């Protein structure tokens, strides 16, 4: 008889620096406490800009400049060398989001390695992850033949899957990146990692 492990849902946008930094830690926190960690990609361009009616973070006076500094401080502390400027305009995250959700449906076991590769390509190597060719290249390397994958990105299938996933994330109250649901309990922000660690360890309060 196996007992299913409780689920930590991790939500991120590929172009969110805080989402990337959280992706480096979240599996470790979940595993340490015997929780399963499921990755979910979302779009802050929908939640923050459209649903919440806010500006993009880098464009907010005072806060935008502060957040650049906060990211650099976190990276120094953790020995991370980003390959792109966090003040540069982000690329279009939609192709990577479509790729993510098509793989989630068709190659679940390969989802995290693929997502990690794309995150690293963007944040460490400074690559343009909006390029279909780059996504296919990683798919072929990690998973296999790429035609069906490439078709899903350019045709309607990836679009439908991504739209549905983003709608689901909004239904669950997810509004930022990173966002976490620990068996349903919501936590927002990279700064919550310590509190999540405590929550998983004791089962909540």
Which residues would be at the binding site for a copy of itself (CB under 8 A)? Answer: 47, 51-55, 60-63, 65-66, 69-70, 73, 76-77, 170, 173-176, 185-186, 188-189, 191-192, 194-195, 205
Q: Shortest CA distance to 87 belongs to which of 108, 69, 110, 105?
A: 69
What token pair was written down for 54? Answer: 């806010």
In whole angstroms, the minimum distance from the beta carbon of 93 to a copy of itself comes to 19
In whole angstroms, the minimum distance from the beta carbon of 42 to a copy of itself comes to 12
By beta-carbon proximity to a copy of itself, the closer residue of 144 and 173 is 173
In whole angstroms, the minimum distance from the beta carbon of 162 to a copy of itself comes to 19
By beta-carbon proximity to a copy of itself, the closer residue of 79 and 147 is 79
**8, 182 contact by CB (below 8 A):** yes
By beta-carbon proximity to a copy of itself, the closer residue of 107 and 188 is 188
By beta-carbon proximity to a copy of itself, the closer residue of 116 and 192 is 192
By beta-carbon proximity to a copy of itself, the closer residue of 61 and 147 is 61
3-state SS of 77-101 is HHCCCCCCCCCCCCCCCHHHHHHHH
In whole angstroms, the minimum distance from the beta carbon of 192 to a copy of itself comes to 6
**38, 101 contact by CB (below 8 A):** no
How far from 191 is each of 36, 45, 91, 183, CA to CA, in Å?
20, 21, 25, 19
In whole angstroms, the minimum distance from the beta carbon of 70 to a copy of itself comes to 7
Q: Report the C-alpha gap between 30 and 53 in whole angstroms.
A: 32
């Amino acid at each position: 008889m196996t007992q299913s492990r409780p689920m930590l849902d991790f939500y991120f946008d590929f172009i969110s620096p805080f989402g990337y930094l959280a992706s480096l830690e979240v599996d470790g926190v979940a595993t340490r406490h015997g929780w399963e960690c499921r990755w979910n990609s979302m779009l802050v361009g929908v939640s923050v800009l459209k649903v919440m009616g806010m500006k993009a973070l880098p464009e907010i006076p005072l806060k935008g400049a502060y957040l650049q500094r906060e990211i650099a401080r976190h990276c120094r502390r953790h020995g991370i060398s980003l390959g792109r400027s966090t003040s540069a305009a982000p690329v279009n995250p939609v192709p990577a989001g479509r790729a993510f959700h098509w793989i989630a449906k068709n190659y679940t076991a390969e989802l995290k390695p693929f997502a990690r590769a794309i995150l690293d390509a963007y944040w460490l190597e400074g690559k343009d992850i909006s390029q279909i060719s780059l996504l296919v290249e990683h798919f072929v390397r990690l998973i296999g033949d790429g035609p069906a994958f490439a078709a899903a990105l350019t045709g309607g299938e990836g679009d439908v899957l991504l739209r549905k996933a983003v709608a689901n994330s909004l239904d669950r109250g997810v509004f930022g990146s990173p966002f976490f649901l620990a068996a349903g309990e919501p936590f927002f922000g990279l700064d919550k990692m310590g509190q999540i660690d405590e929550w998983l360890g004791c089962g909540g309060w």
